[in-house]
Amino acid sequence: MMNRVTNNDLAPALRSSDREQLATELLERLKYRIGKDPKVAKPHDWLTAAILVARDRITDKWMDSTRRTYATGAKRVYYLSLEFLIGRLMRDAMTNIGIMDEMRHALASLGVDIDIIAELEPDAALGNGGLGRLAACFMESMATVDVPAYGYGIRYVHGLFRQQMADGWQVELPETWLAHGNAWEFERRESSYEIGFGGAVETINIGEDKQRFVWKPAERVIATAFDTPAVGWRGKRVNTLRLWAANPIDPILLDAFNAGDHIGALKESNRAESLTRVLYPADATPAGQELRLRQEFFFCSASLQDILRRHLQQYPDFTSLPDAVAIQLNDTHPAISVVELVRLLMDVHGLDFDVAWDIGRRTFSYTNHTLLPEALESWPVPLLERLLPRHMQIVYAINAKILVEARKEKGFEDQRIRSISLIEESGERRVRMGNLAFVGSHSINGVSALHTELMKETVFADLHKLYPNRINNKTNGITPRRWLMQCNPGLLNLIRESIGEAFMDDAEALKALDAFADNKDFQERFAAIKRENKNRLANLVGSRMGVRIDPAAMFDIQIKRIHEYKRQLLNIIEAVALYDQIRSHPELDWAPRVKLFAGKAAPSYHNAKLIIKLANDVARVINNDPAVRGLLKVVFVPNYNVSLAEIIVPAADLSEQISTAGMEASGTGNMKFALNGALTIGTLDGANVEMRDHVGEENIVIFGMTADEVAKVRAEGHNPRAIIEQSKELSQALAAISSGVFSPDDRNRFTGLVDGIYNHDWFMVAADFDAYSTAQRDVDAIWADKAAWYSKTVRNTARMGWFSSDRTIRQYAKEIWRA
List, as one string, the DSSP characters of 442-500: SEEEESSHHHHHHHHHTTTHHHHHHSTTSEEE----B-HIIIIIIT-HHHHHHHHHHH-
With CA atoms as reference, report the closest residue to 370 among 282, 467, 432, 446.
446
- Angle (deg, nearest 10), helices 449-457 and 688-695: 140
Burial of 285 (C-beta count, 10 Å sphere; 0-12/13-18/19+): exposed
What distances in angstroms separate CA 305 from CA 78, 148, 273, 398, one per listed residue?
12, 19, 20, 21
Give the integer Cα–Cα distance in Å for 438 and 453: 15
Please confirm, yes or no, whether 668 is among the known catalytic residues. Answer: yes
Please confirm, yes or no, whether 718 is among the known catalytic residues. Answer: no
Catalytic residue among 566, 613, 792, 799: 566
Please confirm, yes or no, whether 560 is among the known catalytic residues. Answer: yes
Catalytic residue among 416, 530, 672, 792: 672
**What type of residue is 120?**
L
Please confirm, yes or no, whether 369 is among the known catalytic residues. Answer: yes
- Scored b (16 or more CB within 10 A) or e, 253-278 reads beebeeeeeeeebbebbebbbbbbbb
- Is the Cβ–Cβ distance between 713 and 767 less than 8 Å? yes
Give the integer Cα–Cα distance in Å for 12 and 17: 14
Give the integer Cα–Cα distance in Å for 422 and 435: 6
Query: What residue spans of 562-627 are helical by DSSP H?
Result: 568-584, 606-623
Catalytic residue among 464, 560, 613, 792: 560
What sign has the CA pseudo-torsion 254, 256, 261, 266? negative
Catalytic residue among 76, 158, 416, 561: 561
**Continuous segment of H or E residues that includes residue 284:** none
**Secondary structure of residue 196 in the 3-state scheme:** strand
Cβ partners under 8 Å of residue 775, min gap 6:
681, 701, 702, 703
Give the integer Cα–Cα distance in Å for 574 and 757: 14
Catalytic residue among 158, 369, 391, 474: 369
Give the integer Cα–Cα distance in Å for 498 and 464: 48
Which residues have a catalytic role annotated? 369, 560-561, 566, 668, 672
